Amino acid sequence: MSGELDIRGGGAVEVDTATLRDTAARFVLAADELTRICARVGSLQNMLFAQQQFAGVALSTLALLATRLTDAVVRGERIAADLEAAAAIYELVELNARLAVAFWAGDDDALALIERQRAVLIAQYPEAMERARLAEFERAVLWPGDLVRQATEAGYDLGGLFDTARGSDLLAAAVGGVAVGGTAIGFAALTGVGGWGRLRSDATLNGAAQPIRVSASQRPPLPAPSNLTGAAERIPRTGASQVRVEKYTMADGSRQFAVYVSGTRTMAVSAKEPWDSRSNVELYSGSRSASYDATESALRAAGAQPGDVVHAFGHSQGAMITSHLALESEYDTRTLVNFGSPVEADVGSSTLSVGIRHTDDPVAALAGGGFMESVGAPGSFIVEREAHPLAGTDDLGLPSHQMTSYVETATMLDASADPRVHQLGDVFEELSHAVTVEVTEFAATRADSEGATASLGDEE
């Protein structure tokens, strides 16, 4: 396993501005207290000056102490001012993001309120808006540094390999590296600035349901996963099944469901496989896919009804599916955990959102760095790391996107002392108290126009 975990509360520049201002206030109080101590030291110096023939050493010591206290006061006041300015910058980033949402929603009242809030901050900190825009630009364009570096190095290797026979491999390698790296930078700019892959809270899939056939297969009951690694390992990767649903019946008779949704099964456009490139394009462009319909069908077949609590876990294409389930389904999606997702969804405050992505995963890069502001319920977070730092031709197999790599990251996260990880653990702890657990796996295929959209058949 490689790469240190970067765990943060979400958003491009997610910072708790209230904590910044509280810390600034504490520095101000400390500076005031030091100023009062300086005054008392000055009074003591005056008293000892009259007896300087007996107190010369004490006077020298007090003079040194007074100098150090004065320096500490100046530094404390400077730190407090810098913290206040930083809080203003981060607040402007958040306000700019909210302004864009209000604009596209046509909410004139919200626009007016946000404009007034921005004006107050800019009046107090005239340089804050320029620095906020710079932070937004850097995040929008420069966030995929690991991906661009690896693309450049891989291009260098491929260029040299291609032209070795001609004896000009150095030039070819340089050209190849620049070309591939430049393409990666352009890709980053388009996705980041264009906002592709960011699903607003009102995002819905367009189009009619597609004809599919779904077969159900009962599996032996298992206890709830005890941690994120256990949940990640339950996402289907091989075999016929693409969706796994676990039904938990609690002691009070209530029900909760966990759904685990596979990533893409074939990069071709398949006549039968719903988890194909066609579904990828449809979901990313905002259209209903056969894989989405199959997942909804699987949940209904497992007994989930509107209003039931659902905990959703998805990888890659499966993460796009679970994101839309959280945004537009009739279920109470309490938890959304996505691995290597091409999108980030602005889910509501009742959904704990956990996004796990590798900075060298080109599929996760389709999310364009995600939202500038945090999304989801309090305690939501994102996790990033560079999964495979060494670049080369092996990257053509997208090792950083494979679920095996994300399971490694989940294991690292489980070992973390970050309190937000413990909040996710509370979900598994609650499910562990179920009195019965039913496990069903579902295999879906595309059907022709005459096939049933949600035809269920049992497999033994």
pLDDT computed for residue 327 by the predictor: 97
Domain residue ranges of the chain, discontinuous segments joined by +: 13-139, 143-194, 202-459
pLDDT tens for each residue of 6-55: 888 766 555 566 777 888 888 888 888 888 888 887 777 777 766 666 66
**Cβ proximity of 151 and 187 under 8 Å:** no
Which of 377, 261, 281 lies closest to 323 in space, CA to CA?
Answer: 261
Choice among 196-200, 294-298, 455-459 with the minimum mean pLDDT: 455-459
d(CA 109, CA 98): 12
The more confidently predicted of residues 322 and 370 is 322
* Residue 179 pLDDT exceeds 60: no
Asked if pLDDT for residue 168 goes beyond 60, the answer is no
Q: Which of the residue ranges 114-123, 258-267, 285-294, 442-451 would you say has the lowest mean pLDDT? A: 442-451
Which residues 6+ apart lie within 8 Å of 6 measured at CB? 383, 384, 385
* CA–CA gap between residue 103 and residue 389 (Å, rounded): 40
The C-alpha atoms of residue 111 and residue 227 are separated, in whole angstroms, by 42
Q: Tell me the per-residue pLDDT of 287-303, one tens digit each, with 9 for 90 and over.
A: 999 999 999 999 999 99
pLDDT category, 188, cuts 50, 70, 90?
Answer: low
**Is residue 88 scored above 70 in pLDDT?**
yes
Is the pLDDT confidence value at 142 over 90?
no
User: Within 13 A of 81's CA, how many CA atoms are on the CB side?
Assistant: 9
Which pLDDT value is given to residue 278?
Answer: 96
214: left (phi over 0), alpha (psi -120 to 50) or beta: beta
Does 146 or 212 have the greater pLDDT score? Answer: 212
Q: For residues 296 and 288, is the Cβ–Cβ distance under 8 A?
A: no
How far is residue 4's CA from residue 374's CA, in Å, rounded to a whole number?
22
Range with the lowest mean pLDDT among 131-140, 154-163, 351-360? 154-163
Q: Any idea which of 43-47, 83-87, 330-334 has the lowest mean pLDDT?
A: 43-47
Q: Looking at the DSSP assignment, which residues form a beta bridge with residue 338? A: 314, 355
> What Cα–Cα distance (Å) separates residue 36 from each residue in 1, 58, 60, 68?
53, 20, 20, 14
Look at 63 and 421; give whichever has higher pLDDT: 421
Return the CA Rg of the chain. 28
**Model confidence at 199, in pLDDT bands (50, 70, 90)?**
very high
